[in-house]
Amino acid sequence: MPTRLLLLLFLVGHVFSKEPPDVDCWVIHLKHINCSWNKQGTPDVNYTFYSWFQSDGKNCTTYVSENSKNTGCIQPYDELITRRFHTFQTRLSHGNTTFEKTHQLKQKVLLDAPINLTVKNGSDYNLWFYWNQTAVHCVESEVRFRVNDKNWETSLVSIGTQKYCINLPSSSSRYELQVKSRVGKNCGESFNWSSWSEPAVWGSNNITDTNVSVSAWTPLLYVVAAVILILFIMMFLPNERLRIIPIPDWRQFSKGMKGNLSYNEQACPVQEYCNVSESDSDSSDGSTCSVTTDQTDCSVSIAVTNADDLSTAAGLLSSQEEEQVSE
């Protein structure tokens, strides 16, 4: 009995290993196409690989191998930014068996992580992050940053922009930012993001937790004090005078709090605001700097408009920045 079972297992295993290998291809960093056929395990024969877009077929230039069996191929191609819109054909052959497959690579682009992420404490009192990525005019990015190792906040950076600004940072806090990218909508959006870049860090290394929470609660204390003050005034003023009570600027308060607390407004927060740091500074001109939308509340159209604003604003600021640097 056991020998029969073993024989059966052996046969089943043999049948599975005879399955045609599934070839999976990705456009890596718009430089080469990486195909692999070892998803179901290392094949037991040594396939040779041949590929073509329309007529320009070529044998594999660089094989990837495992246990001296070919399991993948790296084919360099020029102009993959446009060529990937055509169908891509692959052929695996061994002896007189061949397996051909047609691939749609348009959305199967995988960029390398952005490089050279640097941070500059600008003379405009903003914190500027710069990076480099390939095919600038086709690539969109996403940054994530955190202050004092708290939760990550993410923000989309529109196509063509390779910088991000945090308004009025507090030098007693620690800022950490990373960026990732992919081919954007206007160039045939890719499915997958690159991995996160190396982080860039600015500011103090050590900040005690108590300091953080005190400064985080400060705006709330202001609000509570204001409410109490209003109540007092209402109690002591005669009714007719109520109309001239100065109303505090609630939007200013909520802006200040947004950076620190998860303060939820019922309405969609259409207003733009810069990423105000721990310091409770007035950010009246901060809206030109960077834009963060509350994605849970906002519709897609608002996010898109804001992204456009961001790129123009960032463009304007960049020319100022360059002038200041060149001085």
Ligand X SMILES: *[C@@H]1O[C@H](CO)[C@@H](O)[C@H](O)[C@H]1NC(C)=O
Sites of contact with ligand X (CB under 6 A): 26, 28, 34, 36, 46, 57-59, 63, 68-70, 72, 74, 95-96, 110, 115-116, 121, 123, 125, 130, 132, 162-163, 171, 191-192, 204-206
Q: How far apart are CA 33 and CA 24, in angstroms?
A: 10
Q: How far apart are CA 44 and CA 314, in angstroms?
A: 55
Question: At its nearest, how many Å lie between ligand X and the CB of residue 87?
Answer: 18
Structural tokens at position 226: 């204001």
Question: At its nearest, how many Å lie between ligand X and the CB of residue 248?
Answer: 30
HEC string of the chain? CHHHHHHHHHHHHHHHHCCCCCCEEEEECCCEEEEECCCCCCCCCCCEEEEECCCCCEECCEEEEECCEEEEEEEECCCHHHHCCCEEEEEEEECCEEEEEEEECCCCEECCCCEEEEEEECCCCCEEEEEECCCHHHEEEEEEEEECCCCCEEEEECCCCCEEEECCCCCCCEEEEEEEEEECHHHCCCCCCCCCCCCEEEECCCCCHHHHHHHHHHHHHHHHHHHHHHHHHHHHCCHHHHHHCCCCCHHHHHHHHHCCCCCCCCCCCCCCCCCCCCCCCCCCCHHHCCCCCCCCCCCHHHHHHHHHHHHHHHHHHHHHHHHHHHC
Query: Toward ligand X, which CB reaches closer, 95 or 238?
Result: 95
Query: Toward ligand X, which CB reaches closer, 61 or 299?
Result: 61
Query: Toward ligand X, which CB reaches closer, 23 or 257?
Result: 23
Question: At its nearest, how many Å lie between ligand X and the CB of residue 48?
Answer: 6
Q: How far apart are CA 17 and CA 40, in angstroms?
A: 8
Query: Toward ligand X, which CB reaches closer, 264 or 320?
Result: 320
Q: How far apart are CA 66 and CA 8, in angstroms?
A: 28
Question: At its nearest, how many Å lie between ligand X and the CB of residue 27?
Answer: 10
Query: Toward ligand X, which CB reaches closer, 63 or 196?
Result: 63
Question: At its nearest, how many Å lie between ligand X and the CB of residue 125?
Answer: 6
Question: At its nearest, how many Å lie between ligand X and the CB of residue 220?
Answer: 27
Query: Toward ligand X, which CB reaches closer, 163 or 180?
Result: 163
Query: Toward ligand X, which CB reaches closer, 87 or 204?
Result: 204
Query: Toward ligand X, which CB reaches closer, 62 or 213?
Result: 62
Question: At its nearest, how many Å lie between ligand X and the CB of residue 297?
Answer: 26
Query: Toward ligand X, which CB reaches closer, 110 or 166?
Result: 110
Question: At its nearest, how many Å lie between ligand X and the CB of residue 113?
Answer: 12
Specify whether the CB–CB gap between 110 and 26 falls below 8 A. yes
Question: At its nearest, how many Å lie between ligand X and the CB of residue 300?
Answer: 21
